[in-house]
Amino acid sequence: MRKVEKVQTEVEVVKEILCDLCGNKTRILRDDSFGIDQFSFATISFDGGYGSHHDMSRIRLEICETCLFEIVNRRVSGYYHAHGCEIPVGITADEHLSKVFSSLVDDNIENDHEN
């Protein structure tokens, strides 16, 4: 036989996440029926490896969608520039990412075969 008891506990709930780059709020939806907020952000973490220049360094950034895609678009633009390509006009960030990632995967596969 089970004897049960109702207990009330306190739970920490994230109420706000601010972008570490621009300071904007990242909340996109408030669900009052459950009291749960939904956020749209990316977390970037870095732990400096043993013996590296940044040994024992630890960085954690939470950034909003806008800042994330500004960084991605700058990286994609740099990728096209470094490879002597014109940046395509009229394609979405997702299409940019798809091209860049597939190219990087292809480059890594070729490098693995050469070694």
| Residue 65, pLDDT score | 86
pLDDT band at 56 (very low <50, low <70, confident <90, very high): confident
For residue 28, give every residue at least 6 positions away whose Cβ sits within 8 Å of its Cβ, in sequence order, or none: 38, 39, 40
Give residue-wise pLDDT tens across range 6-45.
Answer: 999 998 877 888 999 999 888 777 766 666 677 888 888 9
pLDDT in tens, 70-107: 887 777 677 666 767 666 666 665 676 666 666 665 55
* 111 pLDDT above the threshold of 60: no
- pTM for this model (two decimals): 0.55
